[in-house]
């Protein structure tokens, strides 16, 4: 499963799942060992994250990258996975939230991931050029109003032949269980749009690719 690196950080898992919600982010010390054991054996208890991670891991098996950027890393779930899986690869990871980056750095140091580099950066201010073989952006664009500018900035960071891996929520996705629906609403706090249709995603990417190819 995915996310076993966080077995010692159950509060962080709650933060990721319920941040900016009414959920109290404290855990009774009695339950911490049991929560840690669950995460250690089964990964982060978030179905959507596990499914996305499954696709991401399958994708990574087909390519070899020298330099990688996690664009909008949050608490670095994918970055920590890659850093441990590919210790000789350099992974950069950025997020606009300095508090989140501070947490990421502490976890990185405890896990001794020397090939993982976190830095604070708003994707609207991303200015690196021709630097990365792979940039992935997972569940980020729905939080940013100026999504077209972000896509343009990301494409500029790619080397020739580089790959951009994108995941965004589906605009018309339906949740059929009320319990999961309540959780989804809490996790969607901070979204500036519900999601993207397939057509919108293709148009967004094609528009920026054509613009950059003409420049």
Tell me the domain boundaries of the chain: 47-214
Q: pLDDT digit string (tens) for 123-140?
A: 999 998 999 999 999 999
Q: Which two tokens stand for residue 168?
A: 């965004």
Q: Which structure tokens are listed for 213?
A: 């190819």
Residue with tokens 């499954």: 54
CATH of 47-214, one of 3.40.50.150, 3.10.129.10, 3.40.50.300, 3.90.1150.10: 3.40.50.150
Q: How far apart are CA 126 and CA 141, in angstroms?
A: 14
Q: How far apart are CA 66 and CA 81, in angstroms?
A: 16
3-state secondary structure labels for all residues of 177-212: CHHHHHHHHHHCCCCCCCCECHHHHHHHHHHHHHHH
Instruction: Give 85 or 174, the one with higher predicted confidence.
Output: 85
Q: Rounded to two decimals, what is the model's pTM?
A: 0.81
């Amino acid at each position: 499963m995915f996310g076993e690196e966080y077995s010692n950080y159950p509060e962080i898992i709650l933060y990721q799942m319920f941040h900016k919600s009414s959920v109290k982010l404290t855990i009774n010390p009695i339950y911490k060992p049991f929560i840690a054991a669950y995460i250690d054996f089964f990964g982060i208890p978030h179905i959507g994250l596990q499914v996305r991670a499954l696709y991401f891991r399958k994708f990574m098996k087909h390519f070899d990258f020298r330099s990688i950027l996690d664009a909008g890393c949050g608490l670095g779930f994918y970055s920590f996975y890659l850093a441990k899986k590919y210790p000789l690869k350099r992974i950069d990871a950025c997020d606009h939230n300095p508090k989140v980056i501070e947490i990421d750095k502490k976890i990185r140091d405890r896990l001794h991931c020397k090939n993982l580099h976190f830095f604070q950066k708003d994707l609207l201010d991303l200015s690196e050029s021709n630097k990365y073989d792979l940039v992935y952006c997972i569940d980020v664009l729905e939080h940013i109003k100026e999504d077209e500018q972000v896509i343009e900035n990301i494409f500029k960071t790619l080397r020739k032949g580089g790959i951009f891996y994108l995941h965004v929520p589906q605009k018309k996705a339906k949740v059929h269980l009320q319990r999961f629906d309540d959780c989804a609403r809490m996790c969607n706090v901070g979204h500036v749009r519900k999601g993207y249709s397939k057509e919108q995603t293709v148009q967004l990417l094609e528009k920026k690719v054509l613009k950059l190819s003409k420049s």
